[in-house]
């Protein structure tokens, strides 16, 4: 079944490793590159990285059949299940793992909790597409997460960092970030590519027809989403590779709870969704939405609140570097489970 994926998709783990190594090499060859890339920012994220984030989402959102979204938006069971995974289980699981694995390192623990509170609105669309999940449902869930992120992130940050640690005798932290700042991040990293994707489909289908759009246009721009992902990884490692290499044991301690988190959240979501009777495309969309996180928001909050050199910022940076290979591996797990338990085979 995996052989039916494109060469770029099938070899994505190798491309990601190559992108990481290239980024580290660039960072070492040009020591001032990270500072130069980070000099101009949008919503707390380096502009060159922001360009990569926007581009990797645009082709995926251009592929969504927006005319089919209404049916998914009316399915209260799907939406309710997603909300429980993302806004109840997700933050609690990350909080618990942060305290289990990092009881003596409050800065890294805070950084992990910030990641757990930032539900995915970006890369989940790529993982969902690779796993042959429902693009329409993923678009609905991403929109739902965006709204809840704006409304609840500040409140959840206050609770999990400023209140709950006292129950375990730990230090508390103050997270001062407004709903306006979160809304700005969501508006840029989701709103811009969403609008571009919607207008692209609306205009080109009207002018050239749906068959031309799906069979000629999408196959041309679709692979560029992964190119945007690889470009983003190269820049992230060029900017942060040295810090990661200098603190290998710290990175390992941060990575372990993250790996457990991704496995636990994906496994729970996939198992529960299947038992609820959802089909494979819906199950895959729910599972990747539950497992993924909005690392650009977590990084922006960590840097703005605790500083670029803080342990919170380092943990937030390590987050996506672990999430990318972990979620790529789960794409293969999802495709295998789809065949094994749903008798599902990707089309094309």
Q: Which domains does the chain have, with CATH numbers?
A: 2-338 (1.20.1530.20)
Could you state, in chain order, the average pLDDT of each consecutive group of 10 residues for the chain (348 residues)? 56 78 87 79 74 81 74 82 95 95 91 90 81 89 81 83 80 63 69 86 92 90 82 79 79 94 97 95 96 79 71 82 86 93 80
**What is the end-to-end Cα distance of the chain in Å, rounded?**
11
From 276, 290, 293, 274, select the one nearest 338 (Cα to Cα). Answer: 274
What is the pLDDT, as a whole number, of residue 347? 66
pLDDT on residue 125: 80
Give residue 320's pLDDT: 77
How high is the pLDDT of residue 179? 60
Binning the chain into helix, strand and coil, the percentages to the nearest 5 are 80, 0, 15
Coil/strand/helix, residue 119: strand
- What value, to the nearest 5°, has the Cα angle with vertex 58 and ends 57 and 62? 120
Q: At a CB cut-off of 8 Å and minimum separation 6, what does 67 contact?
A: none
pLDDT at 1: 46
Q: How far apart are CA 163 and CA 157, in angstroms?
A: 9
User: Residues near 177 by Cβ (< 8 Å), separated by ≥ 6?
Assistant: 153, 154, 157, 301, 304, 305
Q: Tell me, what's the pLDDT at 177? A: 59
CA gap 30, 27 in Å, rounded = 5
Could you give the CA distance from residue 98 to residue 111 in angstroms, rounded to a whole number?
A: 9
pLDDT of residue 307: 67
């Amino acid at each position: 079944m995996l052989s039916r994926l494109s060469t770029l998709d099938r070899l994505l783990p190798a491309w990601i490793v190559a992108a990481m190594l290239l980024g580290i090499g660039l960072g070492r060859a040009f020591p001032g590159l990270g500072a130069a890339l980070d000099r101009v920012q949008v919503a707390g994220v380096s502009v060159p990285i922001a360009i990569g984030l926007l581009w990797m989402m645009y082709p995926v959102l251009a592929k969504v059949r927006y005319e089919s979204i209404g049916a998914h938006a009316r399915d209260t069971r799907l939406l309710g299940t997603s909300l429980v995974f993302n806004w109840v289980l997700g933050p609690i699981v990350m909080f618990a793992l942060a305290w289990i694995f990092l009881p003596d390192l409050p800065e890294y623990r805070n950084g992990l909790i910030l990641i757990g509170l930032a539900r995915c609105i970006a890369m989940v669309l790529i993982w969902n597409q690779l796993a042959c999940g429902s693009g329409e449902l993923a678009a609905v869930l991403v929109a739902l997460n965006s709204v809840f992120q704006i409304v609840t992130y500040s409140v959840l940050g206050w609770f999990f960092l400023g209140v709950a640690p006292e129950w375990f005798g730990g230090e508390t932290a103050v997270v001062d970030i407004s709903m306006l700042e979160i809304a700005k991040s969501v508006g840029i990293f989701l709103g811009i590519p969403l609008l571009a994707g919607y207008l692209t489909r609306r205009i080109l289908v009207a002018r050239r027809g749906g068959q031309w759009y799906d069979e000629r246009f999408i196959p041309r721009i679709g692979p560029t989403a992964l190119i945007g992902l690889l470009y983003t990884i190269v820049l992230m490692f060029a900017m942060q590779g040295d810090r990661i290499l200098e603190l290998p044991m710290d990175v390992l301690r941060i990575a372990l709870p993250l790996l457990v988190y991704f496995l636990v959240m994906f496994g729970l979501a996939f198992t529960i969704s299947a038992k609820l009777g959802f089909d494979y495309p819906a199950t895959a969309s729910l599972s990747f939405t539950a497992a993924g996180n909005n690392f650009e928001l977590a990084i922006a909050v960590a840097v703005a609140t605790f500083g670029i050199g803080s342990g919170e910022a380092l943990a937030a940076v390590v987050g996506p570097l672990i999430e990318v290979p972990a979620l790529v591996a789960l794409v293969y797990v999802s495709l295998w489970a789809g065949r094994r338990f749903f008798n599902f085979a990707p089309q094309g």
